[in-house]
Amino acid sequence: MNVILIQVAAIIVAVVSSGIAVFQLFLFLGFPLAEYSWGGKYEGVLPYKMRMISLPSAFLLLFFGFTFLIHSKVIILDFYLPTNIIVVVITIFMGLNTLGNLASKSRKERLVMAPLAAITFIACLFVVITS
């Protein structure tokens, strides 16, 4: 039963991270969603330089989800990938990210991104503690 709960938590990490990655891709493509990111510093479409940061952010978020799926053995690879340290680092990052979103000046970011980050952090923490 514990393995199933760990896998469910890892799937939650992957799904939420993938959703946020899509959001980052939208930012990169110039969708007017800037108020939901970067502390609400920008309105409408992100400036070009900030949009260029969104693309690597999207790939990083996909990597986060994929790493948790591998770590929890939802995805099994034919080779070894040392995920133990990586999931701890991701969990710490998501905890800090949650705090940053909660402290954002942007009401939209606090209402949308903070809960998503918190859900991801809690699921990450569960996987790290129980696996």
Helix (H) or strand (E) holding 46: none
Domain-wise residue ranges, the chain: 2-130
Residue with tokens 């991104």: 113
Q: Give, in order, the Cα–Cα distances in Å from 76 to each of 44, 58, 71, 90.
A: 41, 23, 9, 20
Q: Along the 131 residues of the chain, how does pLDDT read in single tens digits?
A: 699 999 999 999 999 999 999 999 999 999 999 999 998 899 999 999 999 999 999 999 999 999 999 999 999 998 888 999 999 999 999 999 999 999 999 999 999 999 999 999 999 999 999 98
Is the full-model pTM beyond 0.85?
yes
User: Cα separation of 99 and 17, whole Å?
Assistant: 17
